[in-house]
Chain A
């Protein structure tokens, strides 16, 4: 069975600090996909990244970086030099289905981490 755990329910940091959001997943599949989404106070879900299980390269996009470690089943997300606009709920999600466009594809979401950046 699949499971996504975000143990940190709420984090507060002061602006310009770095912050890491943890995500640990469980799956029996060898092929799977991991995601991070941002949900700002306005409510919409913003796609941040998708990573497949065969690509363990870390990724950096501006102030965002992701660390994928299959050995520990973790896919952590770091924001460097945090800004007030980073305040949001961040969701980690897992999909076990090949994105072939056939059959059902289900994203299993973690419970989210609420990040508050204090100016």
Chain B
């Protein structure tokens, strides 16, 4: 299994500012992902964080708004830029654990409120 931590766990931010969320995994993983869960909604994949190259973004998400870094196999950051109240969500880091189980684990999430 993989143990995932995220910082901050929650934050309240002003419109127009940016927030960087950190994701740390206790073991090296190949695949890391960032998801968004808007209030009362399901989860939507933002992007796949690729180590050593640019992230792969899903439709509706762009690098300028959600820049992602993945400097190594245990760490990634997601920045929510120029925030608006519509960005208020839970942001979750997720990793794919290798081996026969191939489970996908999720971090505890970062609850973001934009005023």
Within the complex, which residue of A47, A91, A104 is in contact with B105, where a contact is CB–CB below 8 Å?
A47
Q: Does B104 contact A (CB under 8 A)?
A: yes
Would you call A35 and B42 a contact (CB within 8 A)?
no
Would you call B104 and A43 a contact (CB within 8 A)?
no
Sample of 24 A–B contacts (CB below 8 Å): A37-B106, A43-B108, A43-B111, A44-B106, A44-B108, A44-B109, A45-B106, A47-B105, A50-B101, A50-B102, A50-B104, A101-B31, A104-B48, A105-B31, A105-B33, A105-B48, A105-B96, A106-B58, A107-B45, A107-B104, A109-B42, A109-B43, A110-B42, A111-B42
Would you call B56 and A99 a contact (CB within 8 A)?
no
Within the complex, which residue of A37, A43, A91, A101 is in contact with B30, where a contact is CB–CB below 8 Å?
A101
- Given A50-B104, A105-B96, 10 extra CB contacts under 8 A: A43-B90, A44-B108, A45-B43, A93-B43, A101-B30, A101-B96, A105-B33, A106-B58, A110-B42, A111-B42
CA distance A35 to B41 in the complex (A): 18
For residue B45, which residues in chain A have a CB less than 8 angstroms away from its CB? 106-107
Q: Does B8 contact A (CB under 8 A)?
A: no
Interface, chain B (partner A; CB < 8 A): 30-31, 33, 41-45, 48, 56, 58, 90, 92, 94, 96, 98, 101-109, 111
- Which residue of chain A lies nearest to B1 when distances are taken between CB atoms in the complex? A47
> Chain A: interface residue count, which band?
10 to 19
Would you call B92 and A111 a contact (CB within 8 A)?
no
For residue B58, which residues in chain A have a CB less than 8 angstroms away from its CB? 106
1/0 per residue, CB under 8 A from B, across A22-40: the answer is: 0000000000000101000
Q: Given known contacts A101-B30, A101-B31, is B103 in contact with A47 (CB within 8 Å)?
A: yes
- Which residue of chain B lies nearest to A95 when distances are taken between CB atoms in the complex? B104
For residue A47, which residues in chain B have a CB less than 8 angstroms away from its CB? 103-106
**Shortest Cβ gap from A102 to chain B (Å):** 8
Give 4 nearest A-B pairs by CB, closest first.
A45-B106, A99-B102, A109-B42, A104-B48
For residue A50, which residues in chain B have a CB less than 8 angstroms away from its CB? 101-104
CA distance A50 to B103 in the complex (A): 7
**Shortest Cβ gap from A94 to chain B (Å):** 12
